Every structure is written in C-alpha cells, then in structure tokens.
Amino acid sequence: MPAGATLRAETVEAAGRYALPIGPWREDGGVETQDISGAITRQAWRIGGTALTSYELLLELRRQIIADGYDIRFECSTQSCGGFDFRYGIEVIGAPEMHVDLGDFHFLAATRPGDAPDHVSLLVSRSPSAGFVQIVQVGALAARPAEPMATTKAEPGAALPAQALTEIGPAMEGIGRFVLADLVFDTGSAELGPGQFSSLEDLADYLKANPRKRVALVGHTDAEGSLAGNLSLSKRRATSVMTRLVDEFGVDAGQLEAEGVGYLAPIASNQTDDGRTINRRVEAILISTD
C-alpha cells in the first residue's frame, strides 16, 4: 500500500466463500460473480494525505498485482461497473472503515493461475481528504499480511512526486509517470494543435522500444466549469493524444488506454492563468510491463 496507508478493518477466515465479481451490473441478473472458496482475508485501508486520484491509486496496485503473476479478469470504473447498482450488488466493508463515493470508484478482479489459484479483488475510491482501498484475497496469499511500500513523497496538493524527471525513460522506470508538458490545450478544448510535439515522439519511441509495456494516458483540466464537464473533457484530451500517437506515430493501440480525472489532481494553482495552463495537461502512467 502507498505510504500513509493505515489498516482500518481486517477479517481473516481460514476457510470461507466469496462471490468474486467478474462482470458489471446487468439489468437482467445483477452482478456476474464466480463463487470461490479458500482462506479469505478482507481489508479496508485509508490513505491519508494523498492528492492521488482513485484511478491513480488503482494503477499502482494494478501494476503490483500484474508483477506478482496475476491475470486481470475484470476491471471497471463507476459508470462501466453499473454505478449505484454495482456498488450495492457486491460485498463492501461498511463505513467509516471503507468509504465509497458513488460517483468515483474503480474495481478490479484478478486471478493467479495454478493448481490452487489465488484470487484478489480491489475496490478503490476516495473522500475529499483521503483514498480508500478494499482488498479481498482468497487462497495462499490470504495469509500474507500487506505491508506499506516505499513510495516517492508527493508535495502537498500535488499529484506528482517532488522529483521532476525530464527524460521519459528514467521517469517511467523510476516513478512510473511522465507529464507530456509540451502539449497545449485551450480552456474547454480537447483538440491538439498541429505539430509533432517532442513529448509524443519520445513516448512513441519509448513504447516501440518496449512493446510489452502499456501506458495509461490520463487527462487533466483546470478548475473552470463543473466536475462532470471536466471529467468528460479530460478523457477526451487523453483520447485525442492516444489517437495522435496511433495515427501519426505508429504506436500499437494495445499499448495505450485513455482516462480522465478532471480538475481533481492539479500540479499548479488554479488561481492564475499560468497555473491553469499547466493543469491542462495529459500524463503518461506506466501500468504494465508485461
């Protein structure tokens, strides 16, 4: 878990059953699940003092799960999960130990193959002041306690680590993210202007040199306008960058995905024109090395 995480609730069963969600909410049948049994550990974690969004918290945990040999079975975000119905159709540790914002949550289910497969599910959300993660582990790993991981300290109010790396290779390998700083978006616009943009060329070269790696393009906005409008705009910005990388730089679309977090993760003050310009950005976040 990230630095600053505290374990709020934990139950351990030597033998139990868990309905692992493996699909979104369906109007005709609720949430599709797989009934699994084994040693089960259920945990709720609170991550205080972080400006990371729920999606960014999920990405780091997702990377660890894949590195540990798990295959992702199913993942979704608020609307693609099924919103309110999905949240109340799955097992969730009660508040205040586990907080779920019905407008901002992400879910992931994964299985590590073997003669006795291990299973894990993550539910990630946040409140205005903290992130929350529910972890359910079933199988041999359930007996292994989670330990806080070493992370790069973030500046208060910023989503980026304090150390800024200007070359994409060291940034991706060292802190797992890189700001495409030379992209320019006007307020309210998702369109990139003409031009090569050196950051896109660098990212394309990095991905071509590392064909087994995958990157999430995460769009951000300034604080002008509503949250809902900015969430949509930020994802369209990320999608615009993804399209440019595929169509003009020849990047494999399978190495990319696009998401948006609106104005929830500023790296500069939204009280100045310069700060708002900086916040209208797209970041590349390493999510898989397989």
Q: Does residue 258 contact residue 225 with C-beta atoms inside 8 Å?
A: no
pTM (2 d.p.): 0.56
The pLDDT tens digits of the residues spanning 72-82 come to 999 999 999 99
Average pLDDT on 264-283 reads 82
Confidence of residue 281 (pLDDT cuts 50, 70, 90): confident
105-112 and 71-77 beta bridge pairing: antiparallel
**11-25, 48-62, 106-120, 225-239, range with the lowest pLDDT:** 48-62
Average pLDDT on 52-73 reads 90
Confidence of residue 277 (pLDDT cuts 50, 70, 90): confident
Has residue 133 got a pLDDT over 80?
yes
- Cα–Cα distances in Å, from 74 out to 149, 184, 276? 25, 34, 36
Please report, for the chain, the start and end positions of each structural domain, with discontinuous segments joined by +.
5-143, 168-288
Has residue 32 got a pLDDT over 80?
yes
Measured N-to-C along each axis, helices 227-249 and 198-209 cross at an angle, to the nearest 10 degrees, of 70
Q: Does residue 14 contact residue 39 with C-beta atoms inside 8 Å?
A: yes
Give 29: exposed, middle or buried? Use CB within 10 Å, 0-12, 13-18, 19+.
Answer: exposed
CATH topology of domain 5-143: Protein Transport Mog1p; Chain A (3.40.1000)
The pLDDT tens digits of the residues spanning 139-180 come to 864 444 444 443 333 333 333 333 344 578 877 877 777 888
Q: Give the percent of the chain with pLDDT over 70.
A: 87
> Which of 46-50, 91-95, 107-111 is most confident?
107-111
Round the average pLDDT of the chain to a whole number and report it. Answer: 84
Q: Does residue 21 contact residue 33 with C-beta atoms inside 8 Å?
A: yes
Q: Tell me how far apart the alpha carbons of residues 242 and 173 are, in angstroms, rounded to a whole number.
A: 21
- The pLDDT of residue 215 is 92
Confidence of residue 289 (pLDDT cuts 50, 70, 90): low
Q: Give the percent of the chain with pLDDT over 90.
A: 45
If one counts every other C-beta atom within 10 angstroms of the C-beta of residue 209, the result is 9
Q: Tell me how far apart the alpha carbons of residues 266 and 268 are, in angstroms, rounded to a whole number.
A: 6
**188-197, 232-241, 255-264, range with the lowest pLDDT:** 188-197
CATH topology of domain 168-288: 60s Ribosomal Protein L30; Chain: A; (3.30.1330)
8-state DSSP, 264 = S
Q: What's the angle, vertex CA 56, arms to CA 152 and CA 42, rounded to 5?
A: 95
Q: Tell me how far apart the alpha carbons of residues 194 and 240 are, in angstroms, rounded to a whole number.
A: 12
Has residue 52 got a pLDDT over 60?
yes
In terms of pLDDT, which residue wins out, 103 or 143? 103
